[in-house]
A and B are shown apart, each in its own frame.
Chain A
Amino acid sequence: MATLQELANSVIEGDVERVKELTQELLQAGVDPLEIIDKGLIAGMDVVGTRFKAGEMFVPEVLMCAKAMAEGTSLVKPHLAGKELKTHGTFVIGTVKNDLHDIGKNLVSMMVESAGFTVINLGVDVSPEAFVKAIQEHKPDILGMSALLTTTLPYMKETIEAIKEAGLRDSVKIIIGGAPVTQEYADQIGADGYAPDAGAAAELCKKLVGAA
């Protein structure tokens, strides 16, 4: 019989077809759907995140693994029958105002989602006001901001100021990333964390909600 370990391994191998097969087998064998997600799919993706961070796996592989995981998850979902999918929390992410870069931000979004968060991706060119509105609407545990240009970097600071002014700063952890971003800059503008890559961002999110 298929095991959760085999499922996790197939996620790590990015083998979409095998993940679908194993997920079906496990469901038919009556394994708890939540276990399949937690100890099979997410467990596999955790390893992928660690290897990615260590430079042993690369972006296209991570994308394939995430696709495999997503296919598996979509097979499990109809079987949850009212059971709540356990999540580490809600993560809202966007690229700051006047900045149209979305590739890095989307990688972070995908890795954080694969790590077991509910992710709301606001897209690119997100104004400070739009970030504030999204916090009010989605009440996230963590907010992520991306900037890829030295000219748009200052909007991170402006957004944090706007969140403070709206009285929401204490309700949400804020993390930042992107080519020109550094830990020093994060400290300087009062962010709660900085991640140099998507794997690190997922770990940072888990740490911030006490799930790591």
Chain B
Amino acid sequence: MLIVGELINSSRKPIAEAIQAQDAEAIKKVAKEQYEAGAHYIDVNAGTFVGKEAEYMEWLVKTVQGATDAPCCLDSPDPKVIERGLAVHKGTAMINSISLERERFEALVPIISGTDLKVIALCMSDEGMPETKDQRMKIADKLINLLVQKNVKIENIYVDPLVQPISTNSIFGVEFLNAVEEIMERFPGVHTICGLSNVSYGLPMRKLLNQNFAVMAVAKGLDALIINPLDKRMMANLIAAEALVGRDQYCMNYLKAYRENKLDV
């Protein structure tokens, strides 16, 4: 399971304040905590700083990689911001994200084409956001094929089928889950990824829903997540879920986590 730590995002107040004050220690601390908790990629987002996003992206990448060996997940729809982050990035970054929206696709594809970069491919098009499994499949199909034609390796594509809140339509959860299953079946080698918080929008006890939804998605084949890795219950659930669906040979990872006291939370 590939984990992208989501905490360094300028829409979160303490992060925005740290970026504004150029407080490298604060950012390093959050990066380190996530890395040590099991994040493989550290998401970096400075999206709320209109006009200064590129500059701050560069600073975030340098700061995060000054504290950890983790690669970053560069989170912006703006190619200039991504390029600025890539210029100082060590290792193989992930791009968050491209979509089938024409402008966004055409702006970002030259950056990714022919490289080893990993890319999150969001199931969204100019026609709007998909609601059903079939709408998601239509977008995923086009998006994956276009990316492969543009010389992006299928194993570097992380399709995000787009989580929508069950509070506004009770089928949104199951349509997403079934899309994960079908994408993983129809496009061998491709990955699926998502954030979780949208699913619980408008409902109380959101963590409970997010945690359960993550486990259900793993059962359908989801193999990457953008989450808060400091959520110990979530991380323990994921370790258990992977063992349960046969993605943990001899349950070695589960047992390792047990011995490290990571499961009793």
Contact = CB atoms under 8 A, between A and B. Distances in A.
Contacts of B166: 60
A103 interface: yes
B201 interface: yes
Interface residues of A, number: 20
Contacts of B124: 100
A59 B165 contact: yes
B240 interface: no
A15 B259 CA distance: 52
A150 B47 contact: yes
Contacts of A101: 129
Where chain B touches its partner, the secondary structure class is: loop
Where chain A touches its partner, the secondary structure class is: loop
B168 A153 contact: no
B164 interface: yes
A83 B114 CA distance: 68
In which size bucket is the chain B interface? Answer: 20 to 34
Contacts of A124: 128
Given A103-B164, A124-B128, A179-B11, A59 B202 contact: yes
Interface string B106-147: 000000000000000000100011000000000000000000
B129 A154 contact: no
Contact of A107 (B11, B129, B168): B168
B204 interface: yes
A103 B203 CA distance: 14
B65 to A, nearest CB: 24
Interface in A81-126: 98, 100-103, 106-107, 124
Given A58-B167, A59-B168, A100-B124, A150 B129 contact: no
Interface of B: 11, 47-48, 50, 77-78, 101, 103, 124, 128-129, 164-168, 170, 201-204
